[in-house]
Amino acid sequence: MKQTVKKILVAILISLLILGTFLFGFIQGSKWGWKANLPSPFEKIINKEPPKEIEAGDMSLFWDTWQVILDKYVGRDKLNTKEMIEGASSGLVQSLKDPYSEFFNASSSQSLTEELSGEFFGVGMEIDKRDGFLIVLTPLPNTPASRAGLMPFDKILQINDKDTSDLTPSEAAQLIRGPEGTEVKLLIYRSSWDKAKVFNIKRERIVVPSLKWQMLDNGIGYLRIYNFNQPLFNTFYQTALKISLNKPKGLIIDLRNNPGGYLEAVVDVGGWFLSKGEIILKEDLGNGEIKLHRSPGPGSLKDIKMVVLINEGTASASEILAGALRDNLNVKIIGTKSYGKGSVQELVALKDGNMVKITISRWLTPKGNVIENNGLEPDIEVKNEEELGAYLNLDLEKDAQLKKAVEVLGDELSN
């Protein structure tokens, strides 16, 4: 009996200990445990991922539109999936509202490659778009366009009776180009005319010249750079050696009606005129980062007295060179205000021969002057009374800008 009572008391004691331990833990947990479950300051923040540069988009709108076309479009039995995808890609780039960014399908990519390589079939002019109008940026020398009398800033209203208001420069270029010997009809308007005029121009094989070099009187050299295309890499090296051998006392660098070209080409050319390491341009990458492009050298032409000629057809890479020479060497710029294209485009190859030309940055002169939509103001403004175009033969009587350049350079050499 005593053993039984003893066992019961032990059991009760153990139970009380267990219950006491449980109650103690419960009380302590009630007192402190709820605090442990409070969110930390970081956990109180929603959307913890780094901010996105562009908000998320819902692609269902695109596919819903595609489905509507498949279900309801009257010509759905003739749909071309490849063309639809190319059109959508083109529209995506156009949504940037940047006149210099563009999608190229395989066909237009080939045309662009031919143009930059320096050879194609057409009428021989650089075109661009400004204020909603397709314009002649510059007619190339000794081409059907220049012989027909087309001028920088002529508006191209129609190509073969097709309205150009919705065309990109590349689309227009494809329409203007064609088999050798065939004609293209252009409706052109010039601000000095009362009404637009029709030009029927026969297409030719166009070999884009890179530059022209010759010695003038009084030991003055004349260098005209027509554009900064691919062949310039080789031709300028040879010309720079000729200039060094001729040892001109002064040099006129003519960049009038030069529409630009490769950034690498202008940096390479600038290297002959600037000491190694000097800044040729500053590139604004759009995220607060500024990239400096410096002269690669050799700078062997830097000690020659120079002046630069520009006009409204001077654009892009040619504005880079003019700005670099003025900012670094105090070279005087003569002529009229330049075009004002201060952005850099990169060609990105896509699958199946397609390509995107995308604006990746905007450039500044070495002193930080913005060229985009501003252009370069000349130090000495001179306008030509006659519209000379992209001529080949120099004429000091008709070309007031060139005449002024010779005068200014002559005065600098005499001092």
Q: Are 342 and 362 in contact (CB under 8 A)?
A: yes
Q: Are 319 and 326 in contact (CB under 8 A)?
A: no
Active site residue ranges: 316, 327, 341
- CA–CA gap between residue 218 and residue 62 (Å, rounded): 67
- Spatial neighbors of 345 by CB under 8 A, at least 6 apart, are 100, 101, 357, 358, 359, 360
Amino acid at 208: V
As given in the structure block, the two tokens for residue 42 are: 């970081």
Q: Are 199 and 228 in contact (CB under 8 A)?
A: no
- CA–CA gap between residue 218 and residue 223 (Å, rounded): 15
- CA–CA gap between residue 196 and residue 188 (Å, rounded): 5
Interstrand relation of 343-349 and 332-335 (parallel, antiparallel or unpaired): unpaired
- CA–CA gap between residue 71 and residue 173 (Å, rounded): 35
